[in-house]
Structure 1
Amino acid sequence: MLTVELFYASAKLSPKIESFFLSLFSGSASSSRIFMADAMLSSVLALLLISSCTHRVESSAEEEGFIWVEISNKGLDFAKNIFINTAESSLVPLELPDIEKSVDISVLGTVDMILSDITINAIQVTSSTVSTADSGVILTVYGATANLSMNWKYSYSTWLLVPIQVSDSGQASVQVSGMEIGLTLSLKNQQGSLSLSLVKNKCSVKDISINLEGGASWLYQGVVDAFEGKLTSAVEDAISSKINEEVAKLDSLLQSLPKEVPITSIATLNVTFVGDPVINKSSIALAINGLVSARDEDEDEDEDDTLFQNHHRALYNLIPSKGPDYMFTIFLHEIVIKSVLSVYYKAGKMHWIVDEVPDQFLLNTARWKFIVPNLYKQYPNDNMNLNISISSVPNIEIKEQQIDVTVTADVIINVLNDTEAVPVACISVEITGSAFPEISSKDVTGSITLHELAMSLVWSKVGDLNIPAIESIVLNVLRTGVLPYVNSRLGQGFSVPAFYGYTLQNTEILCSDSWIMVSSDVAPTNLDSGSIRTTTFS
């Protein structure tokens, strides 16, 4: 029986949040079972980066978790199977030290025996379970078997007028059954990284069967009597020692993981862990900071701290809405999206030159002959382009079933006179709309709607502009030309990439009060992904 308990140091939660966690995670299991470092690192990271819940610290943004992931019992069981399969191959081959012993054999006297080149070649796990408790995560593997190979040799002295040295050697195979292993692992947050330590490590073997190839008839019982106990202890000690070694390697790898991950050429994601993992009998959850910042730049000291206060309150209503049968659930706060927009705005990436539109005649002065007569008079039948610059960081607000967006921009109208672009006017534009994200057939899809369009003149070199008339025309173009095209593209969706050979299955997305929640199962990419459904809630 292999038992793994994953303990955590109590997180520094407020009493209200701590109470919330106790009720929140009372119905979904979790566990982290870790054997081999290199081979299992990807699986462990996938598990750890798929968990969720809520944790509140005082107002500093750097101490907040804006992305939470929760792994349910179902998800832990899935991960457990991956870990067990990996461990079966990662633990072997495992070499054991030689064993020597002298035994008394009737008639022959004292016989010196040695077992050498003892190697565990295969381990098979026949049954395993995973569960959680308030103290940690428990992984149980029992009834495991192992196959060993080894060489044997014996020698003894006898008298036939003169002393004679008698010896023989050969090979043997060993079958171990009923193997049980118990581990207790501690997983804590150490300065923003995950620290893994082994608290308890116990291995026991119930039965061992030795099959000798060659040798005298008396040899079998002699080897069994002499070495059964020592061989059993050697197997138990070797496996325990190997687990100690691999857990230490894995802890070193976890400690070495970067706390910032580049996601584009100008932006990095803060993946610093916040607080200790939250574990009880229903699930395991942990948080990362989740904010995006400019690469190689410190976060602005004058960031508006009001953004980072009380942002977890909405989870009180959101978490109960998630289905209990999903492997994992990810919660993403709107501040994460705002941090991305802020980085791109400050980097000057929200600036475009538009010289093609669905109705290309709109970018010719002749189209505006009767609305802006001075424009046509000064630049008859000239083409134009639009120099669009976002004038402030776009604002998003996640609400029930939708994401509201407000964008303000300055639009400079340029007339293309020969090869020169002549700026003739600047209009301030504010657009408000809503996005409706969905997930369908392994694709992220959605739609957008336009609520309002407001314009005001900033400056003009062609006299006063009829802003209401321009606003009406642009609004009509957006609603009849641009939005249908954009929604058609969004409706086709964007494929969700596979991750280490696995893909999402039966996925659900919810939006509510500043949070986006994605719940899903995971399946190998070579299997039918099944249905993926979209749900909203009231």
Structure 2
Amino acid sequence: MGAQSLAVAGGALALCLTLAGATNPGFVVRITQAGLDYAHQQGIAILEKELAHLKLPDISGDFRIRHVGKVRYELSRLDLRSFHLPYSRISLVPNVGLQVAISNAFADVAGNWRVKIHFVRDHGSFDLKVENVYIKINLKLGSDTSGKPTIDTSYCSTRISKVRAHFSGRLGWLYNLFYSAIESRFRKILESEVCDIVVKSVYRELQPYLQTLPVTAKIDAVAGVDYSLVAPPNATAQSLDVELKGECFSLANRSAVPFPPLALSLPPDHDRMVYFAASSYFFNTAGFAYHAAGALVFEITDSTIPKDVGFHLNTTTFSAFIPQLEKMYPDTPMKLRLSASSAPFLNIGPGGLSLKPVVDIQAYAILPNSSLAPLFLLSLTGNVSAVINVKSGHIVGSLNVGRMKLSLKHSDVGTFQVRTLQSIMNIFASSILLPRINARLDQGFPLPLLDRIQLSNILVQFHQNFLLLGADVHYQPRG
């Protein structure tokens, strides 16, 4: 193979690898500035508590005073009584992550001091007022190999502008000299310790909390949903976008989905703290999973028909439409087996959600020995619309059936007019089948939520190929 051929082959391979690595999300979580501000309030409260427990090391050393000589000093039992962060803000840094800026923070420190000058010794207590503390923190966002989000402190700096001290003791003239000697050292130690606490707090508190985002969530006994990140969170000037796989799968046997997710283009809405974009891919993989698991099969017998329907499921009822039934199977109970011939495909557009399912209806006569005698096979098609909402952290819905059309696919009882069965099949669909499906849809699909997060002020919008849910959030602390 020549050099040119090798170059072409290499370029084709690189293109294939690039395309293989480019995965559109099936689900996107967008956190707006309002959502970040709320999360920031919770985080600052935690950081304040962490700083209040800061342990400062003892400080000792010596210095020389003109005409006096060497002075040996020691500061011990340093107690940080409080650390207050009254002013702070969080901002988005595009393509980097988040930045937290804290200004005008202040702290109170108490402790004991001891000095030695030749043969003179003195000791006492002191109070420090640490004022005008400025802290800047950069947070880098990423994802681990399991698809969970990660966060790390990529930069931290602390600057203390003012430290005021009050010492108790007899040698008043010495204290100012003593204080000026150790102030710079104390300032550097405190600045270093504050950033150390910030790094540890992010590692111990924030990172484990982000790990509560479910990579997989169980929908029910049949299916689950994959919420692993397909890329690290992306910070823009307006929001933080988290792209998730958003793929439903059968718990019994996960198989490859035969269609790809389409690209999503979210509108620039920022009225809510968080937005969830659930693509048509997300819902259609659910249909694919349930169909592959054999869960889209419903059997109807006379015992499952509500009493207020007013008829029984037997050949006597159906002989009004198919007279030969009464001759072949007189007064015989029947069973209807409804199954989707293929996975239902949901369409999402500005007008809402809709699908056109194709359902096979196989009718049987239940013989005295409990065996089944096939009677006829119908195909039912219709227009179905959906109503969507959010309840208890789940996307819930209900279906409404429009006009339905019947056709005969096969008959074991001779020919008959299918249109005469239209009304009775409408009753089966609306009174029996639809309530079963809606009862399942009311359980919903779990949203990818961090631990102890509740949603309120729900907004539902429909866009081309995706459903957009907006909400405000509330964090519910433990205990």
Q: Does the CA contact (< 8 Å) of 2:32 and 2:272 recur in 1? A: yes
Tell me, in whole angstroms, the C-alpha distance in 2 between the residues paired with 1:360 and 1:77.
59
Q: Of the candidates 176, 190, 199, which is equivalent to residue 244 of structure 1? A: 199
Tell me, in whole angstroms, the C-alpha distance in 2 between the residues paired with 1:119 and 1:221.
21
Match for 1:286: what amino acid?
A: V
Change (3 A) 1:58 1:400: farther
Change (3 A) 1:399 1:474: same
Matches within 5 A, 1:35-184: 60=20, 63-103=23-63, 110-134=70-94, 136=96, 137-158=98-119, 166=121, 168=123, 170-184=124-138
Change (3 A) 1:368 1:174: same
Q: Of the candidates 225, 230, 235, which is equivalent to residue 185 of structure 2? A: 230
Change (3 A) 1:177 1:465: farther
**Counterpart residue number, 1:514:** 465
Q: Does the CA contact (< 8 Å) of 1:176 and 1:209 recur in 2? A: yes
**Counterpart residue number, 2:381:** 431
Larger RCO: Structure 1 or Structure 2 (Cα < 8 Å, ≥ 6 residues apart)? 1
Change (3 A) 1:510 1:90: same
**Counterpart residue number, 1:401:** 351
- State percent identity of aligned pairs: 18
Q: CA deviation at 1:142?
A: 0.7
User: Aligned with 2:267: secondary structure?
Assistant: helix
Q: Does the CA contact (< 8 Å) of 1:410 and 1:426 recur in 2? A: no
2:266 matched to 1:290? no
**Any stretches of 5+ residues in structure 1 without a counterpart?**
1-56, 159-164, 527-538
Q: CA deviation at 1:67?
A: 1.1
**Counterpart residue number, 1:319:** 267
Tell me, in whole angstroms, the C-alpha distance in 1 between the residues paired with 2:445 and 2:345.
26
Q: Of the candidates 281, 293, 296, which is equivalent to residue 347 of structure 1? A: 293
Change (3 A) 1:440 1:101: closer
Q: Does the CA contact (< 8 Å) of 1:260 and 1:268 recur in 2? A: no
Tell me, in whole angstroms, the C-alpha distance in 2 between the residues paired with 1:214 and 1:61.
70
Question: Deviation per CA, 1:230-257, whole angstroms, max 9, x where unpaired?
Answer: 2111110111222234445679759978
Tell me, in whole angstroms, the C-alpha distance in 2 between the residues paired with 1:241 and 1:155.
32
Tell me, in whole angstroms, the C-alpha distance in 2 between the residues paired with 1:353 and 1:143.
69
User: Aligned with 2:271: secondary structure?
Assistant: coil
Q: CA deviation at 1:88?
A: 1.2
Change (3 A) 1:126 1:196: same
Tell me, in whole angstroms, the C-alpha distance in 2 between the residues paired with 1:182 and 1:105.
37
Question: Deviation per CA, 1:203-243, whole angstroms, max 9, x where unpaired?
Answer: 01122233446665456435423322221111101112222
Change (3 A) 1:238 1:470: same
After superposing the two structures, state which structure 1 stretch, 228-237 or 276-285, moved more.
276-285
Match for 1:208: what amino acid?
A: V
Q: Does the CA contact (< 8 Å) of 2:99 and 2:139 recur in 1? A: no
User: Aligned with 1:381: secondary structure?
Assistant: coil
2:415 matched to 1:450? no
Change (3 A) 1:424 1:295: closer
Match for 1:144: what amino acid?
A: A
Q: CA deviation at 1:140?
A: 1.8
Match for 1:389: what amino acid?
A: S
Q: Does the CA contact (< 8 Å) of 1:406 and 1:430 recur in 2? A: no
Q: CA deviation at 1:261?
A: 1.3
Tell me, in whole angstroms, the C-alpha distance in 1 between the residues paired with 2:245 and 2:395.
24
Change (3 A) 1:272 1:494: closer
Change (3 A) 1:237 1:153: same
Question: Deviation per CA, 1:331-364, whole angstroms, max 9, x where unpaired?
Answer: 1111111112212221222223323123262413
Tell me, in whole angstroms, the C-alpha distance in 2 between the residues paired with 1:247 and 1:525.
20
Tell me, in whole angstroms, the C-alpha distance in 1 between the residues paired with 2:207 and 2:31.
24
Change (3 A) 1:167 1:440: closer
Tell me, in whole angstroms, the C-alpha distance in 1 between the residues paired with 2:460 and 2:441.
16
Change (3 A) 1:176 1:130: same
Match for 1:505: what amino acid?
A: S
Q: CA deviation at 1:145?
A: 1.6
**Any stretches of 5+ residues in structure 2 without a counterpart?**
1-16
Tell me, in whole angstroms, the C-alpha distance in 2 between the residues paired with 1:488 and 1:210.
70
Q: Does the CA contact (< 8 Å) of 1:69 and 1:328 recur in 2? A: yes
Match for 1:88: what amino acid?
A: E
Q: CA deviation at 1:286?
A: 2.6
Tell me, in whole angstroms, the C-alpha distance in 2 between the residues paired with 1:362 and 1:60.
56
Tell me, in whole angstroms, the C-alpha distance in 1 between the residues paired with 2:99 and 2:87.
14
Q: CA deviation at 1:411?
A: 2.7
Change (3 A) 1:62 1:341: farther
Change (3 A) 1:441 1:261: closer
Match for 2:248: what amino acid?
A: V
CA RMSD of aligned residues (A): 4.0
Q: CA deviation at 1:494?
A: 7.8
Change (3 A) 1:187 1:172: same
Match for 2:189: what amino acid?
A: A
Tell me, in whole angstroms, the C-alpha distance in 2 between the residues paired with 1:414 and 1:121.
80
Q: CA deviation at 1:304?
A: 3.1
After superposing the two structures, state which structure 1 stretch, 393-402 or 422-431, moved more.
422-431
How many residues were matched structurally?
A: 452
Q: Does the CA contact (< 8 Å) of 1:408 and 1:431 recur in 2? A: yes
Tell me, in whole angstroms, the C-alpha distance in 1 between the residues paired with 2:343 and 2:403.
18
> Moved runs in structure 1, 4+ residues, more than 6 A?
105-108, 254-259, 440-445, 483-499
Tell me, in whole angstroms, the C-alpha distance in 2 between the residues paired with 1:349 and 1:446.
18
Q: Does the CA contact (< 8 Å) of 1:110 and 1:156 recur in 2? A: yes
Change (3 A) 1:211 1:465: farther
Tell me, in whole angstroms, the C-alpha distance in 1 between the residues paired with 2:377 and 2:110.
82
Q: CA deviation at 1:423?
A: 3.5
Match for 1:287: what amino acid?
A: E
Change (3 A) 1:352 1:122: farther
Tell me, in whole angstroms, the C-alpha distance in 1 between the residues paired with 2:444 and 2:408.
38
TM-score, length of structure 2 as denominator length: 0.79
**Counterpart residue number, 2:14:** none
Q: CA deviation at 1:290?
A: 1.4
Q: Does the CA contact (< 8 Å) of 1:437 and 1:444 recur in 2? A: no
Matches within 5 A, 1:347-386: 347-355=293-301, 356-358=304-306, 359=309, 361-386=311-336
Question: Deviation per CA, 1:161-203, whole angstroms, max 9, x where unpaired?
Answer: xxxx7454x5444332211112233334566554544443210
Tell me, in whole angstroms, the C-alpha distance in 2 between the residues paired with 1:82 and 1:325.
20
Change (3 A) 1:86 1:257: closer
Tell me, in whole angstroms, the C-alpha distance in 1 between the residues paired with 2:441 and 2:26.
28
User: Aligned with 2:331: secondary structure?
Assistant: coil
User: Aligned with 1:143: secondary structure?
Assistant: strand
TM-score, length of structure 1 as denominator length: 0.71
Tell me, in whole angstroms, the C-alpha distance in 2 between the residues paired with 1:220 and 1:426.
103
